[in-house]
Amino acid sequence: MILSLNTPLDMHLHLREGTMMQNVAPISAACFAGAVIMPNLISPVDTLQKLFNYREDIEKVCKNEIFEPYMTLFFKPYPREFLEEVREHIIGIKLYPAGITTQSESGVTDFNMIEPTLAIMEELQIPLLVHGESDGFVLDREREFLVVYRRIVENFPVLHVIMEHITTADSVSFVDEHDTVSATVTLHHLMITLDDVIGGLMQPHLFCKPIAKKPRDLQALRDAVFMGHPRIMFGSDSAPHPQHKKECVGCAAGVFTAPVAMPLLAQIFEEADRLDCLQGFVSDVACKRYAITPPAKTIELENKPYRVPTLFNNVRPFFAGETLRWSIRSPARI
């Protein structure tokens, strides 16, 4: 059986820089028509020059593929002139609470400071992408952050807000209740709970932010995605770290899912008997919500076994060494 997907998009992707980028970017560029590129570099993407340089680097590494990098800017209080200038070069601005995840130290510390920038973004129709976690107890962080989302939605009623990598039933309800709010959901959060991370022997390669939650949260995410939710789209949050930074004291947060994203999505949608919803989840919802037209590109999957390499250079992927039911037929297998 062949499954054809039109312009698949990864609406939340970490490509890093330098040799890591050379290692991981071609993988996503081969199986997606475009991706939303996260700005949390060692020196965050917060000027036009950094944005242009980063985009150019990505294009260079991905030059053999049809692949559109949808660039984001790291949220800071920005003046109007700058936002007017940067607007046509970005898909949105990504807000991180300070220190909440990998390379987010220069994120927001005081949420009272964000409003003037949000007002301009709303007016200029620049979407706001949010890493929505408080600094509370790890399992409560996403729920606690809903008060911030609520305030943003109330104060900026036409701002397009994207709740990135949602992991809880409460977040799904919040999206349900607000028409101006969209959300991304990762592959791994559709497959694992906290039990998979720490319920048996500890699994550093499944450790990520936000941490995987309870079975009822997993079920709520799956229900929303498999019903073809009109505002929930795929964002892998594929976040590669070298093996020595995962298998150590002080394991870095992030799961590297890029190489297995499409085959495993096909597998879980097939298992749920909802293959009919896959095109919407991996492309159509995003195109509509962000009003984008990705470059023409079709990906074909076939139900032939794919053995996942244990390493992509120094990065261990999700499902390393396992055999998946679906493989990428075209473009050529990675």
Question: Under the rule (CB under 6 A), what is the footprint of ligand NCD?
Answer: 14, 40, 101-102, 131, 208-209, 237, 239, 253-254
Nearest distance from residue 228's CB to ligand NCD, in Å?
Answer: 25
Asked whether the beta carbons of 35 and 70 are under 8 A apart, the reply is: yes
Q: Phi-psi bin for 125: left (phi > 0), alpha (psi -120 to 50), beta?
A: left
Of these partners, Zn ion, ligand NCD, none, which one is at the site of residue 7 (CB under 5 to 8 Å by kind)? Answer: none
Of these partners, Zn ion, ligand NCD, none, which one is at the site of residue 48 (CB under 5 to 8 Å by kind)? Answer: none
Q: What is the C-alpha to C-alpha distance for residues 133 and 298, in angstroms, rounded to an integer?
A: 35
Q: Which is nearer to Zn ion, 209 or 229 (CB)?
A: 209
Q: How many residues bind Zn ion (CB under 5 A)?
A: 1
Of these partners, ligand NCD, Zn ion, none, which one is at the site of residue 102 (CB under 5 to 8 Å by kind)? Answer: ligand NCD
Tokens of 26: 């071609």
Q: Which is nearer to ligand NCD, 68 or 142 (CB)?
A: 142
Residue type, 264: L
The residue whose two tokens read 């607000």 is: 178
DSSP track, 26-88? HHHHHH-SEEEEP---SS---SHHHHHHHHHHHHHHTTTS--EEEEEEE-----HHHHHHHGG
Tokens of 152: 């943003």
Nearest distance from residue 43's CB to Zn ion, in Å?
Answer: 17
> Is residue 133 within the footprint of Zn ion (CB under 5 A)?
no
Among 133, 142, 237, 284, the residue binding Zn ion under the rule CB under 5 A is 237
Through-space distance between the first and last CA atoms of the chain, rounded to whole angstroms? 20
Q: Please give the residue whose beta carbon sits closest to Zn ion in the complex.
A: 237
Helix (H, G, I), strand (E, B) or coil at 307: strand
Nearest distance from residue 98's CB to Zn ion, in Å?
Answer: 16
Listed ranges 52-60, 68-76, 169-177, 236-244: which one lies at the site for Zn ion (CB under 5 A) = 236-244
Nearest distance from residue 16's CB to ligand NCD, in Å?
Answer: 8
Q: What is the C-alpha to C-alpha distance for residues 206 and 263, in angstroms, rounded to an integer?
A: 18
Active site residues: 237
Q: Which is nearer to ligand NCD, 131 or 222 (CB)?
A: 131
Nearest distance from residue 16's CB to Zn ion, in Å?
Answer: 11
Listed ranges 50-58, 136-144, 235-243, 308-316: which one lies at the site for Zn ion (CB under 5 A) = 235-243
Give me the phi and psi of 329, to 5 degrees please: -90, -40
Residues that bind Zn ion (CB under 5 A): 237
